[in-house]
A and B are shown apart, each in its own frame.
Chain A
């Protein structure tokens, strides 16, 4: 594991990946990845096409089960846990190719993510087992019946969902589109909506897969400010994949560089920029030069 000089170990570790490895048939897509994220950090994950970046996201969120290695989130081993539970534990993500619920309205997209508020019993049980003093024993509630019978309990939550969704949309500047179909939004706002939807699950760790893809210079600049802004406001720890080097260098505190599933460099932007291996890996791929 590559260590960064001068970084204090006392900081709270939100995510820790140890020897993370996954094989698809003969292909080792990710090979012994080691890394960590401290609370509040904004970390970049870069590398050429097919390096295994998205695959790492898919392992963290439980879509893929690693062949080998462990994922620790806030001190809890979450390796191989189902995606919906990783979400309930506080990991949210966006997708490289936008995956909105395109037939649903902008507001409904956000509110769909808020359904997780009613579904987090198993996650709360895991948290309670991990640390009974901090996380009280959860009580299972028959939310399905409450929802169908429209009990006052449920109606209260529904109202909360609606107002929180409106607040989020206002926060990201999409409130004027609230009742529009998600597919009717222009590209930039769709990206923002995907982030807003992820935020609606109330995450502590946000994984962004190429948020700036397909954006022009000004849009990218706006996105940069936007990410900084939500990071503060929602006290997030962020891991982001991005091909836009300027963007990554500007925003990230540390960067992991991946090539053919292996880490080839890790450090602060300055170190990465001048790293020989990194330059080599990107050489020949003119889009990054």
Chain B
């Protein structure tokens, strides 16, 4: 099998990134309505999915706490970008504490701080919960995410409690979302394809053998968890400035979101970064499309009332079907590289001979 050289790989990838950039430019300029918004959401979901697959796929530990870190990033960044007068207006049950009530900063620093706070939260959550393995870890992280949500719900002087945050500036453009997605893919990709990435993949297969090879399993799991938390926080920050309203209901920044991102990475193939991006794009597209089934329809003269939650049901069915018939998802553990495409087509060509 011919191997594609590093140089060619680099050139093709650069061209691909530039091409995607032009595509996004075209979309944002020539389409009105919801399409630019959906494509922005694809970028945001992509960030959430890539960071999630680092933990659940590459490292092979099953976390259910992703939405907790997304929520922390979302709230942190939103509290930092909200105009001061707006904060004074929204927090009418209890006033916002100092210094948050007198800070307003730009989108970029707010996003980064959102990521850092989420990463710190991931450290605090990961440190105790990574002592347990398997299902216990999933339950522990799920519990922590719920705790985060409930704390948000009850801290009226920080998060405005169940009232949530409104009128968050709609800063998240296609460029922010896809720009951050590019950063996320580069960083997590670079991590996956390094000595540390090999260690993570080895641990995901056999922790005993990994330890015997000199890998500190706990430390590496924690690193992976914190990096994932950072980008989950970035994703959350972008999400907040896309939604412009956030609140702590389970269906917005709670377990439902974790479940959505889980569907994305399962569709894409657990552990595959490109698969996670594809899964996110697919999910955002499909979720939009499925809105139709939730609105009233006229089916050959028969009026069908809209059924709320119908799209969720369909996603759950898709999820089950994937688990039953194609565990690997789109990509399996592989990455969509030029080599992969080349091998795929040369195999196809070979079949025809």
Binding site for B on A (CB under 8 A): 61, 63, 82-84, 87-88, 92-93, 95, 99-104, 108-109, 111-116, 118-120, 143-144, 147-150, 154, 157-158, 161, 197-198, 200-201
**Contact A158–B194 (Cβ < 8 Å):** yes
Question: Does B205 count as interface, using CB distance less than 8 angstroms?
Answer: yes
Number of interface residues of B (CB under 8 A): 24
Query: Which residues of B in the span 211-233 have a Cβ within 8 Å of any Cβ on A?
Result: 211-217, 223
**Contact B213–A161 (Cβ < 8 Å):** no
**Contact A115–B223 (Cβ < 8 Å):** no
Task: Tell me the bound Cα distance from A147 to B224 in angstroms.
Answer: 13
**Contact A101–B187 (Cβ < 8 Å):** no
Q: Quick one: CB contact mask for B274-298 with A, threshold 8 Å, 1 for yes?
A: 0000000000000000000000000
**Contact B201–A104 (Cβ < 8 Å):** yes
Interface of A is mostly: helix
Interface of B is mostly: helix
A residues in contact with B212, CB < 8 Å:
61, 63, 83, 87, 92-93, 95, 99, 198
Question: Does B202 count as interface, using CB distance less than 8 angstroms?
Answer: yes
A residues in contact with B333, CB < 8 Å:
103
Known: A113-B213, A116-B214. 12 other contacts (CB 8 A): A82-B211, A82-B216, A83-B211, A99-B206, A99-B212, A104-B202, A112-B213, A113-B214, A115-B215, A116-B213, A116-B215, A161-B195
A-B contact pairs, 8 of them (CB 8 A): A83-B211, A87-B214, A116-B213, A119-B216, A144-B196, A147-B191, A148-B191, A148-B194
Given contacts A95-B209, A101-B202, A101-B206, contact A158 B214 (CB under 8 A): no
Among the listed B190, B208, B216, which residue makes an inter-chain contact with A99, where contact means beta carbons less than 8 Å apart? Answer: B208
B residues in contact with A198, CB < 8 Å:
212-213
Question: Does B198 count as interface, using CB distance less than 8 angstroms?
Answer: yes
Kindly report which residue of chain A lies nearest to residue B195, judged by CB atoms: A115
**Contact B205–A111 (Cβ < 8 Å):** no
**Contact B213–A147 (Cβ < 8 Å):** no
A residues in contact with B214, CB < 8 Å:
84, 87-88, 113, 115-116, 119-120, 201
Question: Does B199 count as interface, using CB distance less than 8 angstroms?
Answer: yes
